[in-house]
Amino acid sequence: MTRISFYIIDSAYCDFLRQSDPCVPYTMDKKANRPFVGILLKVNGTEYYAPLSSPKLKHKSMKNQVDFIKINNGNYGVINLNNMIPVHKNSVTVVNPIILPDDNEAEVAYKILLANQLTWCNAHKTEILDKAQKLYEKITTSNAYPQLIARCCNFLLDEQNLLVYCKKRGWII
């Protein structure tokens, strides 16, 4: 099994998906040194990008759910499986949290957080993949309660739109 890596996703692609699926997250972050980071997961034979969120106080009291995974009990943030979207390899870029000599204190702290998140994700890869697959099946078979459906991306619609996006760009699926 290959190791999980971190990626940033092309905001133009997310904007395209959001035209028909309002649950697709915005990827623009005002903090240039803190990109919107996610992981790639193979779900139902399709590559999916699942965004991460930095730790917030509210994560401590929230419970893991089928669409939400706390990273180290929320100490390192969360994985938002509800916002996962299908992707083509050309719409993602690898993020490497290597600390550079000219990084400021905030950049170093963020890269340490990313390294901790990455270590945790790789140690729990099977659990993450299983949850992502279960969520996908619940949503695509309409076997989920309305609140879950409402907060999740429309996986089947987004997969169709991925094909449209790739065709427009001449990308091979």
* Residue range 16-43, pLDDT digits in tens: 999 999 999 887 654 444 467 999 999 9
List C-alpha distances in Å: 42 to 46, 59, 66.
5, 26, 16
Q: What is the average per-residue pLDDT within 141-163?
A: 95
Asked if residue 93 lies in contact with residue 165, where contact means CB atoms within 8 angstroms, the answer is no
Domains and CATH numbers, the chain: 6-167 (3.10.129.130)
Nearest to 42 by CA among 74, 8, 87, 10: 87
List C-alpha distances in Å: 67 to 53, 123, 129, 131, 161.
13, 19, 11, 7, 22
Asked if residue 135 lies in contact with residue 152, where contact means CB atoms within 8 angstroms, the answer is yes
- Per-residue pLDDT tens for 41-69? 999 999 999 999 989 989 888 999 999 99
Nearest to 41 by CA among 105, 107, 134, 111: 134
- Per-residue pLDDT tens for 73-104? 999 999 999 999 999 999 999 998 899 999 99
Q: To 5 degrees, how large is the angle CA 109–CA 110–CA 113?
A: 90
- Strand segments, DSSP code E, in 37-111 are 37-43, 46-53, 68-70, 78-80, 85-86, 92-95
Q: To 5 degrees, how large is the angle CA 170–CA 9–CA 56?
A: 165
With a cut of 90, say whether residue 173 has pLDDT above it. Answer: no
Q: What is the average per-residue pLDDT within 123-138?
A: 97
Nearest to 6 by CA among 65, 108, 56, 79: 79
pLDDT at 31: 46
Indicate the pTM of the whole model.
Answer: 0.93
